[in-house]
Amino acid sequence: MFGFPASTEFGKRIPKQKFYENIDITPALKRVFVEQIRLIYWRNKLAASTLNLAAGEAVIEVEVFEVRLNTPQLDEAVLRQIDKEIPYHILFILTCDGKAQAWIGYKEAAASGSNAFKVSRYYHTEWMPEDELQFRVDGLSMDAVYESLVRQIAGDALQADAGESLQASVERDEKRRQLENQFDLVLINAPLPDDFGIEFAESLCTDSSVGVLLFVKAELLEQVSYKVEDYGVLTFPRPGTRQSITSAIRLAAATHNRLSAFERRAVKLESKMKEIRLVNRAKWLLIDRYNMSEEEAHKYIEKTAMDNCATRGEIAENIIRTYES
């Protein structure tokens, strides 16, 4: 499964309550566990013994957890909580509606002790059909296997220079992200000292929500625009007047703000529409099986959700699994 050798298969279900019951976490985080996660499976154990590799100095094992979601959204705080409780490195496979997404944190031993870890940041793939999410087990030690997995998932974000360590790559990426997060709009006056600026502009638009305005020589405008327009990069010829540059900046800022608002609304709408479809399917099953009215079926789902501290979508999915299986 997911390209890992059969020798690594573990196949154990982990009750999600293990990560929030009898543990000091906030009510909000507990609610996220209840509402967003359906099931957690421990799919694989990547270790020196299961892969027939050399033991690692920093990495003992990499556990592969499949986290089945109710909707294709998961608060990163959930992953941090699980990582906090498990003293090994973890590769998370999020699954929902036949699609999968891989998440992995750059996890280091904390200064407080050998059994304590800290995760500086997480990297993830895009959502894709489950059978397309495959990994290579590269390396002759567990340290090398872990580094390979992080780089496979991070993709371009952690492209290494020759001989660069994983830690150095992560630190370099973190500095870049901190720079991005300080701004809503980035102006690039191409060419830059180290490259033309196109790759930097594309990277900014791919890895963050920052708006990018790329200034290029007038004679190169059409050529450059063709390369970057699919990434959402706005191009502008130079030289330009103060008025024209100000107008370009205002246009880029307005476009960025509008797209950000659309993205927020789209995510909320997608989640809401999925729940509505599930609830409607569940209501018709109750109407058919128990001769309920539509109102009675609706109230039953609402009450069951409240009694079980679950979402309406989660209860609807339970009803669907029960009566459509």
Residues 6+ away with beta carbon under 8 Å from 211: 184, 185, 186, 232, 234, 252, 253, 255, 256
Quick one: fold of 267-324?
Answer: Arc Repressor Mutant, subunit A (1.10.10)
Between CA 71 and CA 314 the distance in angstroms is 10
Dig out the tokens for 280 from the structure. Answer: 């409607």
Which pTM does this prediction carry? 0.57
Tell me the three-class secondary structure of 104-133, residue by residue. EEEEEECCCCCCCEEEEEEEECCCEEHHHC
Quick one: fold of 180-265?
Answer: Rossmann fold (3.40.50)
Strand order in the sheet with 185-189: 185-189, 211-217, 234-238
Query: Can you give the residue ranges of every domain in the chain?
Result: 6-162, 180-265, 267-324
Angle between helices 198-207 and 221-228 (to 10 degrees): 30
Q: Report, as ranges of residue numbers, the positions in the chain whose pLDDT lies below 70.
A: 109-117, 159-163, 175-182, 192-196, 207-209, 263, 267, 325
Given this model, what pLDDT does residue 160 score?
A: 61
pLDDT, tens only, 138-151: 899 999 999 889 88
Please calculate the CA angle 150-87-6 and round it to the nearest 5 degrees: 60
Between CA 188 and CA 212 the distance in angstroms is 7
